Amino acid sequence: MKALCKVGLVLSLALMLIISVSSIGISQEKNEKEYNDNLIKALSDSNVGIRSSAAQLLGERKVEAAVKPLVTMLEAEQHYAVRITAALALYQIGGDDAIKALKDQAKDEKNKTVKNVLAGLIENINNVKVVKK
């Protein structure tokens, strides 16, 4: 009887541990989504440094939900350095929409520095496609 109680207690503790660990995972996913959402909101902050930092972090984290806001930033941002950061973030995230936005902006870009960065990113994308074939 004592052995049966010990087994029951061990199984109960193991089940509680499994539930705790899985709920931590769910909580962590929720926190990641909230963090990414806050970064996306920060893309429209009044402070240029915050906008730029948010774009950089979104690119490093490869947040696909940020592609549309980053495309808007690439097209409409007043500060050329922030447009460059948005372009780099789109390049890091990748995907058809991001690459199309980079190519489209390269055609319309007025700032030479941004245009050169876009050309370099597009060239790199094309080189990667050649290597993959």
Task: Assign 30 a pLDDT band (cuts: 50, 70, 90).
Answer: confident
Cα pseudo-dihedral 69, 75, 78, 82, rounded to 10: 60
As a whole number of angstroms, the distance between CA 52 and CA 106 comes to 20
Q: Which amino acid is at 69?
A: P
As a whole number of angstroms, the distance between CA 81 and CA 83 comes to 5
Q: What domains are defined for the chain?
A: 2-132 (1.25.10.10)
Cβ–Cβ under 8 Å, residues 77 and 51: yes
The beta-carbon contacts of 72-76 under 8 Å, at least 24 apart in sequence, are 73/43, 74/101, 74/102, 74/105, 75/101, 75/105
Task: Assign 19 a pLDDT band (cuts: 50, 70, 90).
Answer: low
pLDDT tens by residue, 98-130? 999 999 999 999 999 999 999 999 999 888 765
pLDDT tens by residue, 45-80? 999 999 999 999 999 999 999 999 999 999 999 999
The residue whose two tokens read 């973030």 is: 89
| pTM of the model as a whole | 0.77
